[in-house]
Each structure stands twice: as structure tokens, then as C-alpha cells.
């Protein structure tokens, strides 16, 4: 299996996050996540690990607003000039616009509030380049599938599924899985299945009015869990996309058997759609013991999840999203994607 990884991911090392609206803590989304996964992949006899190359901005601008991408590219440098009277480590918003107030100010701090959904995606000096390289991993994965590979794995960091057309949040800056799905949609119908612990609100927004990409998300109930404002069962798409989005909100503490029942329902929906490709937003924060997630999926459950997804018999691009238990993360990833071999 081709494994595509970003060489520059270590340049994005958030010094902190504001957890749950109040406590300033070290970020969970750190370079060690990728290193642990690479360590486990290198112990296999099937992982063909290669760095992603520069694949240009066009596929990214096809998904994200140009002005938003420009903000990501320039925000840190502009901030250091505009607010030059203190040390700069990472940019977070100072103000969020209330509903209905959507003017874009000239101040970079004002733009931060406009383009940043929360306080868990700070922008540092290397964030834009890392996000760009992460999206190139997903695009390299699409090339693998389009040239006949049965499966590929985009080892994306930072992750992407919370990033919308013009906003970042939840550790995510560019929506890697959506960029890949949009690219693959040129060659046929695409299903995008998100099994991260948190609802893929950015992915939902990007494809909510489209019928060529069928999006499904299995996640913790947003009534009680991030991202709170999207991921509900009655959100099914609008206009041309009506009926082409499906959410499966689940309770805290769900275990293997009950999770697999919901997965079977989602896979049945995908099978009826008859996609040419499947993009899998792969979040290991569903696993028992993850410091952020509250599901209890076991290693054995991961094998079963992978086997059920593989039974669709369509080319699969897995795209890394969350997962923060560094002691188990690498082996958890290998357990699931090994079923695609």
C-alpha cells in the first residue's frame, strides 16, 4: 500500500490550545502523532512510504475560498508586524463575529475571528506550509487510486475534516479528505465516509449541495460534543445535495458491536450509491483510551471496521484525521488499514 506523508509536518507544532473554552493546555495535535504511526508502518512488510510532492494550489482552491487560503498563508507574518509589541508564538482570535455580522476587517486579528472557528487551531510560523503539505498527501493518494491502486493511505498532519470552505478549527486548516474527494469526483462518483470521533462539519459544509459526492459521518452526538453546531441526524443536504449527506450521532461509551451495527447501515447506503471511489476520514480518537474521545472501540473492533469497509470492493483512500493516544496510535492505524491490503 502506498503511504503518502508530509515532510514538513514538524514545522507545525502548536505551543498550546484553549481546551473546552477556558484552560490553556499543551496541544494534543503534535508531530509525535505522525512519528508513532510511521514507526508502526515501518514494521510491516506492505507499507510503501513516500513523501508527498508539491501538487499545486488549483485542487485546493477548488474546495476552499481563495481569500481564506491567502489568510492562512499570510496571517502569522502580518500579525507579527501588526502587533509588534510582544513575542509571537501562535495566532488565535481575539473576537468572533456575532450572527449576521460578516464584514471582513483589514486587521489580521479581525480576520482571525472571521476565518477561525475556535481556539484549537492556532496559526504558527510553519502552519500554512504544513497544511499545504498535508493536502498534497491526500492528492497523492488520489493519484494512486486513479492509476489503479486498490488502496492508499494519506498520512495527513495537520488533519482536515473540521475545516470548511473558509474557516479553520478543531486542529484543521485545509480539508484534506474533501480536497481528495473533489479531485476524484472528476473520474466518477465518490463516497466520503468519516469515522472520526467528532462530526466532520467542514466536510458536511463543502459537499452539502452536491450529489456527486455522498458524505456520511459516524460520530459522537453533537448535542454534547464538539463541533456542537453540525452533525445532527436531520441534516441531509439541500438543493442538488438533498439526500446525499447522512449523519449518525452516537452516545458516549459505545462499544464494538453497537458501533459495527451503525457502520453496517452506513455501508449499505454507500453500496446503494455505487461509488467509483471511497475516501475514508480515519479518526483513531474512536478508540478506547483516547484522551479526547469517549467511545470504547477496541483493537479487535478496528480490524472488523476495516474488514467491513473493504467489503465494499471499491478503491479506498484513507485520510488521517484525529487520534491522540500516542502509546497506541500507530498500532491502531495499522490494525484498521491492514484490512485494505
SS3 sequence of the chain: CEEEECCCHHHCCCCCEEECCCEEECCCCCCHHHHHHHHHHCCCCCCEEEECCCCCCHHHHCCCCHHHHHHHHHHHHHHHHHCCCCCCCCECCCCCCCCCCCCCCCCHHHHHHHHECCCCCCECCCHHHHHHHHHHHHHHHHHHHHCCCCEEEECCCCCCCCCECCEEECCECCCHHHHHHHHHCCCCCEEEEECCCCCCHHHHHHHCCCCCEEEEEEEECCCCCCCCCCCCCCCCCCHHHCCCEEEEEECCCCEHHHHHHHHHHHHHHHHHHCCCEEEEEECHHHECCCCCCCCEECHHHHHHHHHHHHCCCCCEEEEECCCCCCCCHHHHHHHHHHHHC
Please choose, from the candidates 20, 66, 29, the residue with its C-alpha nearest in 3D space to the C-alpha of residue 161: 29
Contact between 96 and 169 (Cβ < 8 Å): no
Helix, strand or coil, per DSSP, at residue 329: helix
Residue 315 has what pLDDT?
98
User: What string of pLDDT tens digits covers the 341 residues of the chain?
Assistant: 999 999 989 999 998 888 777 788 899 999 999 999 999 999 999 999 999 999 999 999 999 999 999 999 999 999 999 888 777 889 999 899 987 778 899 999 999 999 999 999 999 999 999 999 999 999 999 999 999 999 999 999 999 999 999 999 999 999 999 999 999 999 999 999 999 999 999 999 999 999 999 999 999 999 999 999 999 999 999 999 999 999 999 999 999 999 999 999 999 999 999 999 999 999 999 999 999 999 999 999 999 999 999 999 999 999 999 999 999 999 999 999 999 99
Q: Which of 162, 198, 219, 245 is catalytic?
A: 162
Residues 116, 112: Cα–Cα separation, whole Å? 6
Residues 112, 37: Cα–Cα separation, whole Å? 32
| List of residues 6+ apart from 148 with CB closer than 8 A | none
Task: Tell me the sheet residues that pair with 50.
Answer: 4
- Dihedral through CA 177, CA 180, CA 182, CA 186, nearest 10? -150
Residue 118 has what pLDDT?
93
Angle at 68 between CA 13 and CA 90, to 5 degrees: 25
Neighbour-count burial for 164-186, b at 16+ CB within 10 Å, e otherwise: bebbbbbbbbbbbbbbbbbbbbe
Residue 83 has what pLDDT?
85
**DSSP type of residue 88:** -
Helix H or strand E segment including 54: none
Instruction: Report the chain's terminal Cα–Cα distance, integer Å.
Output: 7
Residues 139, 316: Cα–Cα separation, whole Å? 13
Residue 18 has what pLDDT?
82
Contact between 91 and 71 (Cβ < 8 Å): no
Residues 175, 320: Cα–Cα separation, whole Å? 11
Q: Quick check: is 162 catalytic?
A: yes
User: Can you give the residue ranges of every domain in the chain?
Assistant: 2-340
Model pTM above 0.95? yes
Whether CATH 3.40.800.20 fits 2-340: yes
Amino acid at each position: 500500500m502506498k503511504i503518502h506523508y508530509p515532510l514538513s509536518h514538524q514545522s507545525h507544532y502548536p505551543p498550546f490550545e484553549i481546551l473546552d473554552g477556558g484552560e490553556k493546555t499543551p496541544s494534543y495535535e503534535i508531530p509525535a502523532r505522525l512519528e508513532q504511526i510511521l514507526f508502526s508502518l515501518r514494521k510491516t512488510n506492505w507499507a510503501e512510504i513516500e513523501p508527498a510532492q508539491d501538487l499545486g494550489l488549483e485542487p485546493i482552491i477548488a474546495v476552499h475560498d481563495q481569500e481564506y487560503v491567502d489568510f492562512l498563508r499570510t496571517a502569522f507574518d502580518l500579525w507579527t508586524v501588526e502587533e509588534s509589541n510582544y513575542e509571537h508564538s501562535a495566532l488565535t482570535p481575539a473576537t468572533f463575529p456575532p450572527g449576521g455580522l460578516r464584514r471582513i476587517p483589514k486587521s489580521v486579528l479581525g480576520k482571525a475571528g472571521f476565518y477561525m472557528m475556535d481556539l484549537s487551531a492556532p496559526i504558527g510560523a510553519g502552519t500554512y506550509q504544513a497544511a499545504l503539505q498535508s493536502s498534497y498527501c491526500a492528492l497523492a493518494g488520489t493519484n494512486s487510486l486513479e492509476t489503479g491502486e486498490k488502496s492508499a493511505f494519506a498520512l495527513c498532519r495537520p488533519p482536515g475534516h473540521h475545516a470548511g470552505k473558509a474557516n479553520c478549527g478543531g486542529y484543521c486548516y485545509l480539508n484534506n479528505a474533501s480536497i481528495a474527494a473533489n479531485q476524484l469526483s472528476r473520474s466518477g462518483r465518490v463516497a466520503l465516509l468519516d469515522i472520526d470521533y467528532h462530526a466532520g462539519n467542514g466536510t458536511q459544509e463543502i459537499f452539502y449541495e452536491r450529489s456527486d459526492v455522498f458524505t456520511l459521518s459516524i460520530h459522537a452526538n453533537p448535542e454534547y460534543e464538539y463541533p456542537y453546531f453540525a452533525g445532527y441526524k436531520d441534516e441531509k443536504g439541500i438543493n442538488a445535495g438533498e439526500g446525499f449527506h447522512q449523519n449518525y450521532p452516537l452516545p458516549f461509551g459505545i462499544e464494538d458491536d453497537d458501533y459495527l451495527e451503525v457502520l453496517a447501515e452506513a455501508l449499505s447506503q454507500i453500496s446503494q450509491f455505487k461509488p467509483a471511489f471511497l475516501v475514508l476520514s480515519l479518526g483513531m480518537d474512536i478508540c478506547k483510551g483516547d484522551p479526547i474521545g469517549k467511545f470504547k472501540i477496541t483493537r479487535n473492533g478496528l480490524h472488523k471496521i476495516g474488514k467491513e469497509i473493504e467489503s465494499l470492493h471499491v478503491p479506498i483512500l484513507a485520510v488521517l484525521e484525529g487520534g491522540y493516544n500516542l502509546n497506541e496510535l500507530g498500532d491502531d492505524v495499522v490494525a484498521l488499514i491492514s484490512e485494505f491490503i
